[in-house]
Amino acid sequence: MVKVSETATRGGEPGAASGTESPHGVGPLAGVRVLELGSLIAGPFAGRQLADFGAEVIKIEAPSRPDPMREWGRARVQGHTLWWSVQSRGKKCVTLDLKSPRGRELFLELCQEADVLLENFRPGTLENLGLAPEELWQVNPGLIIARVSGYGQTGPDAQKPGYASVAEARGGLRYLNGYPDQAPPRTGISLGDSLASLYALQGILLALYWRDARGGTGQVVDVSLVEACFSLLESAVPDFAAEKVVPGPSGSGLKGIAPSNIFRSGDGKWVVIAANQDSVFVRLAAAMGRSELASDPRYSNHASRGVHQEELESLIAEWAAGYGHDELTAVLDRHAVPNSPVSSIEDIFADPQLRARGMLVEVPDEELGVLVQPGIVPRLTRSAGEIGWSGPLTPGSHNRAIYEGLLGLSEDELQAAKDEGAI
């Protein structure tokens, strides 16, 4: 298990000297300052990834309404949920009431010092606060404003609330999931939110490049959860446009793609075997001791295997059931057939590959002890990311570092803003 040094994961007030350092001082995004508004998943997940790669991410929470993510997640340590510690790692947390006049003033001052504003409010929220992009560009023309919402900033449904499950349904993903003639199930995660976060990250990086390398200006990155889900539909759009093909759920495999499915080993564990490419199927047939299958006209090429998918997968299922899952994967590995057991999180913690790749990281936390967190994706060989610290447990824990260190407020001014309810 990878361990993160204490110096890289300081608790308390990281960057308290001036409030301007990135969490790590290194990384490909060091020097980029991000203001994070919004809550829960779709916006903050993108903010977490920016922080992992060196950006200084300042998370803004309303004084009386902290991010509900602080209460989300199953496991608790000393009353605190651990998902928050992951989702807000490397971020500096401040409180600010955007509805108060003084809070609005302070926010505009922060925007002057920022490169990116990341928000996942319902469209129109910033505008109603008097903080529309045009207002923000008056104080900082180079500000990149990433806006993540259910349906996007425009269109007839822009004002509708959107959640991951709704987006997965509206964007077409849910229709393709599950088994024919059954209720379409969801995945056990908020997939629509996470997909939108990845597109927000991509858009922010594109906008930064256009601004800094190409002489561009600030712009809006408009990300829709529905469109993020829709973008993954592969050939569905051209197929329907051309021949009115409507793909539906196909269970644990894909119709016409064979063999590529889950098969149960003799000890009851599910194993994915993916051998639909012609050359790989030759290797699977050899692993099964049935090399003749590769030359059988029913199975000799991709198209014919798709036609005879059911009978072929029945043969493979019967063969797989003759092995324990360790034996089964070992035989497949010897013949270079892509395979994997279907891993639970318990299996992942025992996975030597994921451990070797640093996907399980021990992060010291001054209050909660050592926490195991997911590692950073992707891996960069010359400018790697780094986990700065776990998500600060107290809302406003970096108020002094940011408002005094970055904006130059005096202690009396900071206290006055607090007394006004602005922070």
Provide the residue-wise pLDDT of the chain in tens; the chain has 423 residues: 777 654 343 333 333 333 334 444 679 999 999 999 989 999 999 999 999 999 999 999 999 999 999 999 888 898 888 999 999 999 999 999 999 999 999 999 999 999 999 999 999 999 999 999 999 999 999 999 999 999 999 999 999 998 999 999 999 999 999 999 999 998 899 999 999 999 999 999 999 999 999 999 999 999 999 999 999 999 999 999 999 999 999 999 988 999 999 999 999 999 999 999 999 999 999 999 999 999 999 999 999 999 999 999 999 999 999 999 999 999 999 999 999 999 999 999 999 999 999 999 999 998 999 999 999 999 999 999 999 999 999 999 999 999 999 999 999 999 999 999 999
Same domain, 388 and 337: no
Asked if residue 387 belongs to a domain, the reply is: yes
193 catalytic per annotation? yes
Asked if residue 202 belongs to a domain, the reply is: yes
Same domain, 47 and 126: yes
Same domain, 294 and 199: no
Cβ atoms of residues 56 and 48 within 8 Å: no
Same domain, 337 and 364: no
Helical packing angle, 278-287 and 325-334, nearest 10°: 130
Q: How many domains does the chain fold into?
A: 2
Asked if residue 255 belongs to a domain, the reply is: no
Same domain, 51 and 69: yes
Residue 137 identity: W
Asked if residue 250 belongs to a domain, the reply is: no
Same domain, 25 and 159: yes
Cα 92 from Cα 16, distance rounded (Å): 10
- For residue 81, what is the domain's CATH number? 3.40.50.10540
Cα 407 from Cα 412, distance rounded (Å): 14
Which residue among 52, 67, 115, 193 is the active-site one?
193
Asked if residue 380 belongs to a domain, the reply is: yes
Asked if residue 169 belongs to a domain, the reply is: yes
Asked if residue 55 belongs to a domain, the reply is: yes
Same domain, 285 and 366: no
Q: Domain limits at 310?
A: 260-349
- For residue 319, what is the domain's CATH number? 3.30.1540.10
Asked if residue 122 belongs to a domain, the reply is: yes
Cβ atoms of residues 339 and 284 within 8 Å: no
Q: Pick the last residue of a domain from 319, 349, 379.
A: 349
Same domain, 174 and 320: no
Same domain, 107 and 224: yes
Task: Quote the radius of gyration of the chain (alpha carbons, Å).
Answer: 25
pTM of the predicted model as reported, rounded to 2 decimal places: 0.91
Same domain, 318 and 361: no
Same domain, 327 and 381: no
